[in-house]
A and B are shown apart, each in its own frame.
Chain A
Amino acid sequence: MLRASVGGAREVEASGETVREVLRGLISAHPATESQLFGGDGELNRYVNVYLGDEDIRVLDGLDTAVGAADTLVILPAMAGG
């Protein structure tokens, strides 16, 4: 569903110093992603996990986790297809 909101792309570029800034950058380029990523309280939806490398940002500093220029964020929605 996220991919549909970014024109079918599997990887997109976005910049920022923290996970929050990167995701905000993504949203400003692709506004349709906002409701999938964030709830009304400004927090990440619980059904979307974000990983910096292979680590869940929830065990790092959450949305304030620092991001380097070469880092990859993985945005992973829950899937239930069988």
Chain B
Amino acid sequence: MSPSGAEFIRQVKAEITETDPRDVHELIGNGVAIVDVRESDEWAQGHLPGAKHVPRGYLESRIEGVVPDRSQRVILYCASGNRSALAAHTLGHDLGYEHVESMTGGITLWKDRGYEVEQPKTFTAEQRERYSRHILIPEIGESGQHKLLEARVLLLGAGGLGSPTALYLAAAGVGTIGIVDDDVVDLSNLQRQVIHNTARIGVPKVESAEETIHALNPDVTVVPYQTRLDASNIMEIIEGWDIIVDGVDNFPTRYLLNDASVRLQIPVVSASILGFDGQLSIFKPYAGPCYRCLFPEPPPAEFAPSCGANGVLGVLPGTMGLLQATEVIKLIVGAGEPAIGRLLLYDALAATLGEVKVRRDPECPICSRDPSSITDEEMGVFPDYEAFCAAAG
């Protein structure tokens, strides 16, 4: 006489190895394959951290794609431990997997024990459509788009460089964009600062930028800082951001930002523009040079013209800002070769893009040191600042 279903499961469990959730919890991240054999709707409700998903109905056809090595230790689980026991029996007896176990009590017991459950990331139908052209390219794909949506990028300035960068990062679905700018929109800005418009003249730039971003992509949360970045607020403002985009228009703030970002170990995607020329590099603390390694000192004021005083081709910050946005996206999704240790030089009149090497300075006053040793007092100060002040009496 054939056994009942319950009896059959008991027989199967007697022939396989069962492992308690407590032991599975210890094994997570230790090279053991954890496989969830439940249905897709159950998986979507949450699963064990780092688990792979192979519904039991597809077990035989898909397991090799997830666990190609039959000698690897595999732990299967389901809701309560029955389906995973049957699946473990199949893998062990029929498919030749050598170390297969089933987790006792399934994810129900796992949760009862208070262990962590990972929520799978999903797109809404609208997101799937909005980001479809990203999802299609392998370098981004679904996982890259999730990373973009979870990323936090801080833009310093909603001006020439910040405008195009903010627009394209928002369009790309960078989930949280911070913007620091204390200025209001001026008519002379609109030749290049395309995130603003004529109706917003006199409106704070952070407010204008936020409005444009929300109209473009409601997925994006904007964190506005209507203030000027200085030594008193920089640590508080930049802490907790994944990447900083430097588009500030003066040297003291660039040095201040460098020192604070090295201290907090936040990568800075930096660009600067003047006339028809643009420079771009990524300063990733301790992985590459910092801004002080490249330019140990700022030029004196008479050799440091600004766009306001000397003019700039309106398209140029667009070009450079979008190169910055490209580097930001590459850093977030981990694609390609980031511009670390290289300074890109764009000459708009000559239509050339060149590059020079930038090396870490072993004697850099900032990044040759332990980040925790950098003090508030020395941030943004130039190397010869004290000598200069002493000489000035």
Contacts and interface: CB of A to CB of B under 8 A. Distances in A.
Please say whether chains A and B are actual partners in one complex.
Answer: yes
A82 B299 contact: no
Given A10-B350, A81-B306, A81-B312, A47 B274 contact: no
A81 B274 contact: yes
Interface residues on A, range: 20 to 34
A82 B305 contact: no
B296 A80 contact: no
Which of B157, B246, B248, B296 is most buried by chain A, counting CB atoms within 10 A of its CB? B296
Contacts of B294: 49, 78
Which of B246, B271, B304 is most buried by chain A, counting CB atoms within 10 A of its CB? B304
Interface in A5-63: 10, 36, 45-49, 51, 54-56, 59
A82 B345 contact: no
Interface string A56-82: 100100000000000000101111111
Interface string B349-393: 110001111110000000000000000000000010000000000
B347 A79 contact: no
A47 B317 contact: no
Contacts of A78: 251, 272, 294-295, 298-299, 304
Contacts of B254: 80
Contact of B247 (A49, A56, A76, A82): A82
A82 to B, nearest CB: 4
Interface string B131-170: 0000000000000000000000000010111100000000
Contacts of A81: 160, 249, 272-274, 305-307, 310, 312
Given A10-B350, A54-B356, A59-B359, A79 B297 contact: no
Given A45-B299, A82-B247, A10 B317 contact: no
Contacts of A36: 303
Nearest to A59: B359
Contacts of A54: 354-357
Nearest to B343: A76
Given A10-B349, A74-B356, A80 B248 contact: yes
B108 interface: no
Given A55-B356, A81-B273, A81-B310, 5 more contacts: A36-B303, A78-B298, A79-B277, A81-B306, A82-B157
The 7 closest A-B pairs by CB, nearest first: A82-B249, A47-B299, A46-B297, A78-B295, A82-B247, A81-B307, A79-B272
23 contacts: A1-B305, A10-B347, A10-B350, A45-B297, A46-B297, A47-B296, A47-B298, A47-B303, A48-B299, A49-B294, A54-B355, A55-B357, A74-B354, A76-B356, A79-B274, A80-B249, A80-B251, A80-B298, A80-B306, A81-B160, A81-B273, A81-B307, A82-B317
Interface of A: 1, 10, 36, 45-49, 51, 54-56, 59, 74, 76-82
Interface of B: 157, 159-162, 246-251, 254, 271-274, 277, 279, 294-299, 303-307, 310, 312, 317, 343, 345, 347, 349-350, 354-359, 383
